[in-house]
Amino acid sequence: MKEKPDVLQGTLALMVLKTLDVLGPQHGWGIARRIEQISGDLLVVNQGTLYPLLLKLEHEGSIASEWGASENNRRARFYRLTAAGRRHLQAETREWEQTAAIIARFFEVKAEDQA
């Protein structure tokens, strides 16, 4: 019953939001495939774990969903970013870049630089 570790949850949520930001409204499979494509084989996730996450994001108000027709005229549930979600994404992106920059700087520092 335990939830996945926060890092994975947090980053996955960020990926979903970014995907919707870039591609516009998408159904679940579309989001999953996009994440897979971008991350390559590095991120092996059961695609099904996406759905509880989508529900959570929807409860939080970052995304909204509705039934619609897919490109090959199948009924599918489409998710889209809300205004609140976009603000959230921006804030998260800034934070992420900041963290990444700090970590990167730590890795750049070599022992001899200290002398």
Partner 1 sequence: MRLLRRFLIRLMNFATRQSADQRLQEELAEHLAFQTEENVRAGMPPIEARRLAAIKLGGAAAIRDHHHAEHSLPFLENLLFDLRYAVRMLLRSPGFSFIVIATMALGIGATTAIYSVINATLLHPLPYPHPAELVRVQDDLRGVGALRVGISVPEWRDLESSGIFQSVAITGTGANVNLTGSARPLRLSFKQVTPNYFAVLGVDAQLGRTFDPHDTTPGYNLEVVISDGLWRREFGADPRILGRALYLDNDVYHVVGVMPRGFRDQGSTSEEQNVELWLGAGFAGVPFAPPLRSSRHQSRVVIARMKSGLSIAAAQGRLDALVESLKEQYPGDYPAQTQWTVRLIPLTETVVGSVRQSLILLFGAVGLVLLISCLNVANLLLARASVRGREIAVRQALGAHRMRLVRQFLAESLMLFLLGGIAGFAILFIARNFLLRLIPESLPHLNDISISWGVLAFALAVSVAAGTVFGLAPAWLMSRFDLIGTLRQEGRGSSGSRERLRARQILVVGELALSLVLMVAASLLLRSFWDLFKVQPGFKPDRVMAVQTWLPGPNDPTSDPYRTATQESVLLREILRRSRTLAGVEEAAIGDEAALPLGHSQPGRLPLVREGLETMDNQAPLIDSPIVSVEYFHLLGMPLERGRLFSDQDIEGTPEVAVINQAAARTYWPDQDPLGKRVRLRLDTRGLSSTAQPAWTTIIGVIADARTESLADAAIPLIYRSVYQRSSKEVTIFLRGQLDPSAIPARVREQVQSIDATLPVFHAQTLNDVLSGSLSVRRFSMEMVAFFAATALLLAGLGIYGTISHLVNEQKREIAIRLALGAQRGNILTMVLRRGLAMAAAGAGIGVAGALIVSHLMARLLYGVSPNDLATFAGVTLVLATVALAASCIPALRAMRIDPNAILH
Cβ distance to partner 1 smaller for residue 8 or 84? 84
Edge-first strand listing for the sheet containing 75-81: 26-27, 75-81, 63-69
Cβ distance to partner 1 smaller for residue 46 or 114? 46
Residue 14 Cβ, how far from partner 1 at the closest point, in Å?
14
Residue 103 Cβ, how far from partner 1 at the closest point, in Å?
26
Residue 99 Cβ, how far from partner 1 at the closest point, in Å?
20
Residues that bind partner 1 (CB under 8 A): 1, 3, 27-30, 32-33, 46-49, 51-52, 55-56, 59-62, 70, 74-77, 84, 88
CA 17, CA 15: separation in Å to the nearest integer? 5
Cβ distance to partner 1 smaller for residue 15 or 63? 63
Angle of helix 50-60 relative to helix 28-39, nearest 10 degrees? 110
Backbone angles phi, psi at 74, to 5 degrees: -100, 150
44: which 2 tokens? Answer: 């092996």
